[in-house]
Amino acid sequence: MNHETIITPIIHLNGDRRETLQNKLEAAYAAVCAAMDALRQCAPNGRNFYPEPGRMSKAETQHQARMEHLGAVYRSLEAESIQIDKENR
């Protein structure tokens, strides 16, 4: 993950409980995991790109960029969950 600062909610009586926030993050985390698994199934297959030179390479670059974007979301959610846990124990 890049070195961005993760902004976490402040746990207090007028807001959600830590457990509620953690559960919501876990659900989002699981959804991103599922999206990453589904996207892996969409990896380019050379047999679908061979008639045009260079097209497979472009498809691989596109696929990798998509995986990296989802990976960044995955790591950000994980970092937020860890930070909430550290700050509110």
Tokens for 66?
């998509």
Domain boundaries, the chain: 18-87
Q: How far apart, in Å, are the Cα atoms of 42 and each of 3, 18, 56?
A: 29, 36, 13
Does 40 have pLDDT greater than 90? Answer: yes
Q: Rounded mean pLDDT of 55-81?
A: 97
How would residue 36 be classed by pLDDT, with cut points 50, 70 and 90?
very high
| Ranges of H-type helices in the chain | 18-40, 55-87
Q: Rounded mean pLDDT of 25-31?
A: 98
- Cα–Cα dist 75/89, whole Å: 21
Q: Rounded mean pLDDT of 15-19?
A: 94
Classify burial at 77, counting beta carbons within 10 Å of its beta carbon; exposed 0-12, middle 13-18, buried 19 or more.
buried
Does 53 have pLDDT greater than 80? Answer: yes
pTM: 0.85
How many residues does this entry show for the chain? 89
